[in-house]
Amino acid sequence: MGIINTRLHGILDYLVGILLIIVPMVVFGTADSGGEVWVPVALGISTLIYSLFTDYEFGIFRKIKMSAHLTLDVLSGMVLMTSPWVFDFWEVSWMPYVLAGLFEIGAGSYTKVHSLSPKYQVTEI
């Protein structure tokens, strides 16, 4: 069930990737910070990297199928959503991580899957 097209998804990828890097640093700072900063920063950096390699409108190198990209989005969302408890910073903050994780899972689950390269196109029989 795809209600988000890949163009909008690409915009969201870069926006969310940048926000995952910047927002925790602004809110918590980097001095004496732990998982509450570095988990979203790592996920933001990885989102930007795999987005650059995805075969869609905003991909530059186009080596990763869109379906694989969406799987990475869902996995990233699951990590983000559970990180306050896994990395033991739930007493500092947990709600933004759960909401951002749910957003990523939703974006990954509700995007129409298609790729730009002909080698990835699904042909009907």
Which stretch of 39-43, 58-62, 114-118 has the lowest confidence by average pLDDT? 114-118
- Measure Cα distances from 27 to 4, 14, 37, 68 in Å: 30, 20, 9, 32
Question: To which residue do tokens 């969302």 refer?
Answer: 77
Q: Which residue has the higher pLDDT, 123 or 55?
A: 55
Whether the pLDDT of residue 65 is over 50: the answer is yes
Task: State the residue range of the domain holding 55.
Answer: 6-120
Whether the pLDDT of residue 56 is over 80: the answer is yes
Number of domains within the chain: 1
Share of the chain above pLDDT 70, in %: 90
The answer as to whether 65 is a domain residue is yes
The answer as to whether 32 is a domain residue is yes
The answer as to whether 28 is a domain residue is yes
pTM, entire model? 0.88
Whether the pLDDT of residue 55 is over 50: the answer is yes
The answer as to whether 31 is a domain residue is yes
The answer as to whether 95 is a domain residue is yes
What is the DSSP code (8-state) at residue 61? Answer: S
Burial class of 95 by CB neighbour count within 10 A (0 to 12, 13 to 18, 19+) = exposed
The answer as to whether 125 is a domain residue is no
